[in-house]
A and B are shown apart, each in its own frame.
Chain A
Amino acid sequence: MNPILEGLVKALWLLVSLDPEVYGIMFLSLRVSGFAVILGAALSIPCGATIALRDFRGKRFLMSIINTLMGLPPVVVGLLVYLLLSTSGPLGPFQLLYTPTAMIIAQLIMVIPIITGVTVSAVSAVDKGIREKALSMGATRWQLTVTILREAKIGLLTALIVSFGAAISEVGAVMIVGGNIRWITRVLTTAIVFETELGEFGIALALGIILLLLAFIINWVLTQLQWSGLRR
């Protein structure tokens, strides 16, 4: 059978047959990338907003660094996190290597520059007039921040969408720090690489289709949040 057709049929079959291994892999992908993005957002949105709203020396230089790190190759992140978490590395005593936690850490490092960078652009794009208006109406610092973030909502959700896409489709980092161990650290992308190396192109493609479906569902929800309460 044509591998593409085979992939579609197998994807459908794996989904409807409720194959426990495939569902385990899907939920691990979701759990690792979801955690990485949520933690990343909690850390990066405040940082990004602060950078955007303040003027300081070296702001452009800092932005250049952040924008460069947005393109950090996942394999390099993986290797660095591996060396950190390895038994011989500085965080060795925690024995986190080859666990989902290690994978979350690696993806967190990957998404932080993406969320920070997009947040800076989104917040910087908020009309200055809105800031002044809010201030003139006697808004407190906190109220001002909330107003600005609300104005920047579309951009902030773009940051989440982009970073989630980067995290869930990334294979280089999770392969090195997770080890693609069956039942423990195998996620969709590492399973795809593994099946491809075995020559099981049909299954590999089926997993790819499942990955896309999963990403679509998440993105649909995020896009609803992004545009809700706004005129289309």
Chain B
Amino acid sequence: MKPETRQMLSIIILVALVAGGVLGVSYQYYHWRPTQYMTLATTTSTYDSGLLDYLIPIFESKYNVQVKILSLGTGQAIEVAKRGDADVVLVHARALEEAFIASGYGVHRVGVMYNDFIIIGPKNDPAGIKDMTDAAKAFRKIMEAGKQGRAIFISRADKSGTNVKELEIWTKINVQPSNKTYSWYLEAGAGMGVLVEKDTALLNPYGVIPVNPQKYPQRNYKVAVAFAKFLISEEGQRLIAGFKKGGETLFFPIARDFGKAAQLGFPNQAQEVAWYDTQNPLSLQSIPFATIAVLSALPQFRNELFT
């Protein structure tokens, strides 16, 4: 290539890039700009499972809101909300949630759904725990088998919700496992084949908590309440129960099963649900329905292309 052609070409590319950039930016501005935003801080499990990509567009079109989803670690999600950087949290960590309420940053905590943890291991079941329904007993058997060198326990050891739950069960049977004290306990992750499930100790409940408007009046409390109300509404609960991946239901609704909710750490479920039922978020609605239907169908189409 001659230097002149080369220079010409680089100028053409430069122009193309600028034009592309302008197009890209205008595309983003063109992309539905709603009248209000809501920031949801949540954990990776709800987002990565695809549950939110399925629920949020329905909520967005109902109330003409655009939801910014932050998929974070549980601790980070709560901390971000505490600093006033989110309007509402959807997490699964009872102790942290209660501290969040107690410190006055969160209000109207309500149970939405649960999923369950399972103990998984090889098919030949060296610890003999298959079909047990008591997680603590199963953990004890694994430990015994481990001490005899017949089994190992693999922990995620990453302070995730899953890991916290696992440690809770070890604490229940007065064991403090670690790589250093027990050779059968490995702090890394992998596994296969379900062995133990259906113990309430292994259930993983999710709560939704709007950020207290008295702490952060600049946050969008009204939409946060609308969002929580949507999740625990008959419709929201039906949608959650209907969400399947590979034919399996991933999340089980509990908002309107007050007994179950109380058992899973939401003692005020009945009062909170009654409170949400008195709230009226309908005033948020403003865009004509047809516009919303078209706009909310677009991302789903793209989603199919992308995955």
Residues of A within 8 A of B (CB): 17, 19-24, 26-28, 30-31, 34, 86-89, 92, 95, 97-98, 179-184, 194, 197-198, 200, 203, 217-218, 220-221, 224-225, 228
**Alpha-carbon gap, A198 to B303, bound state (A):** 14
Q: Main SS of chain B's interface residues?
A: helix
Residue in B20, B85, B302, B307 whose Cβ sees the most chain A Cβ within 10 Å: B85
Determine how close the nearest CB of chain A comes to the CB of B181; give it in whole angstroms: 31
**Alpha-carbon gap, A86 to B185, bound state (A):** 40
Given known A-B contacts A98-B85, A179-B70, A27 and B306 have beta carbons under 8 A apart: no
**Alpha-carbon gap, A180 to B71, bound state (A):** 8
- Stretch of B7-15, B123-131, B144-152, B194-202 at the chain-chain interface: B7-15
Query: What is the interface residue range for chain B against chain A?
Result: 20 to 34
* Chain A residues closer than 8 Å to B216, beta-carbon distance: 87
CB-defined A-B contacts under 8 Å, sample of 27: A19-B306, A20-B27, A22-B306, A23-B27, A24-B24, A27-B20, A30-B20, A34-B21, A87-B219, A92-B84, A95-B218, A97-B85, A98-B39, A98-B70, A98-B85, A179-B68, A182-B69, A183-B28, A183-B31, A184-B68, A197-B44, A203-B307, A217-B13, A221-B14, A224-B10, A225-B10, A228-B3
* Chain B residues closer than 8 Å to A26, beta-carbon distance: 24
Q: Encode contact with A along B64-79: 1 for CB under 8 Å, 0 otherwise.
A: 0000111100000000
B25 at the interface (CB under 8 A from A): yes
Question: Does B306 lie within 8 Å of A181, measured CB to CB?
Answer: no
**Alpha-carbon gap, A83 to B299, bound state (A):** 32
Q: Which one of B3, B83, B302 lies within 8 Å of A86 (CB-CB)?
A: B83
Question: Does A221 lie within 8 Å of B69, measured CB to CB?
Answer: no
Give the total number of A-B pairs whose CB atoms are below 8 A apart: 89
**Alpha-carbon gap, A220 to B17, bound state (A):** 12
Q: Which one of A86, A88, A182, A198 lies within 8 Å of B48 (CB-CB)?
A: A198
Question: Does B299 lie within 8 Å of A183, measured CB to CB?
Answer: yes
**Alpha-carbon gap, A183 to B218, bound state (A):** 23
**Alpha-carbon gap, A183 to B56, bound state (A):** 14
Question: Does A27 lie within 8 Å of B13, measured CB to CB?
Answer: no
B305 at the interface (CB under 8 A from A): yes
* Chain B residues closer than 8 Å to A218, beta-carbon distance: 17
Question: Does B10 lie within 8 Å of A30, measured CB to CB?
Answer: no
Identify which of residues 1-54 in chain B touch chain A, using a CB-to-CB cut-off of 8 Å.
Answer: 3, 6-7, 9-10, 13-14, 17, 20-21, 23-25, 27-28, 31, 39, 44, 48
**Alpha-carbon gap, A165 to B95, bound state (A):** 43
